[in-house]
Amino acid sequence: MRLHDPTHLYDGETSPRAESAARLVSAVTHAPFLSAFMFILLGAAADDVRMAVISVAVSLVTATVVPVAVVQHYSVKYGNTDGDVVRREDRARPLVCGVASYVVGTVILFLVDAPRIMTVMMLSYALSTAVVALISTRWKISIHATGVMGPSMALSLVYWPWGLAMFALVPLVAWSRYVRRKHTPAQLAGGFIYGFIATGIILWLFL
């Protein structure tokens, strides 16, 4: 695979096996699914089991179930067959719905006195997604790339140093989204950089 131009989509060929692998990686690393994995592990690190169960349940509903349902709805509505909202112009509504769900999650987690790291990460999703929605009015930044950075940083912080293993997903995400022609290398790099900076700032400000 040759990278000819970082501002253009992949124009090479992929084998059926590579295409299947790329589809699998894209599906598994969908931002709401990674958030579910993250929130479960963050809850597992809490001392209060009852509070952890409540916090994880709230997080799964507002950061995974609702966003996945919204994306699936708009994917079908806009004629996509693979669960993605492909066109940049079609991203506004699902992203706004996602922001609303994350805000609700943040408020509930704050009110039930959930573990601080979980509330802060839900806030991070709300703020980061709002900015992604604004960026998407002009440029198709990679949500997959942005979405892998938050869980990687949060789990690295809570489960140091073993949580660093999450960063191994970065090259896999980049490869899968590129060979599937979903994003250019520049859009992927922008997503990774933005996700790292935004999450880092929010963790620094609120933890």
Contacts of 102 (CB under 8 A, 6+ apart): 62, 63, 122, 123, 125, 126, 129
Other CB atoms within a 10 A radius of the CB of residue 103 amount to: 18
The burial of 3, by beta-carbon neighbours within 10 Å (0-12 exposed, 13-18 middle, 19 or more buried), is given as: exposed
Question: Is residue 5 in a domain?
Answer: no
Closest CA to 118 of 75, 144, 157: 157
SS3 category, 166: helix
pLDDT at 185: 95
Q: Is residue 128 a part of any domain in this protein?
A: yes
Sequential pLDDT tens for the chain (207 residues) = 555 678 899 988 889 999 999 999 999 999 999 999 999 999 999 999 999 999 999 999 999 999 999 988 888 887 776 667 667 777 889 999 999 999 999 999 999 999 999 999 999 999 999 999 999 999 999 999 999 999 999 999 999 999 999 999 999 999 999 999 999 999 999 999 999 999 999 999 999
With respect to residue 45, please indicate whether it lies within any of the assigned structural domains.
Answer: yes
Q: Whole domain around residue 147: which residue ranges?
A: 16-206
In a domain, 156, yes or no: yes
pLDDT for 88 equals 79
Tell me if the bond preceding 94 is cis, omega within 30° of 0: no
* Domain contains 96: yes
- What pLDDT score was predicted for residue 84? 74
Q: Residue 3 domain-assigned?
A: no
Q: Is residue 137 part of a domain?
A: yes
198 within domain boundaries: yes
Tally of domains in the chain: 1
Give me the residue label for tokens 């989509």. Answer: 9
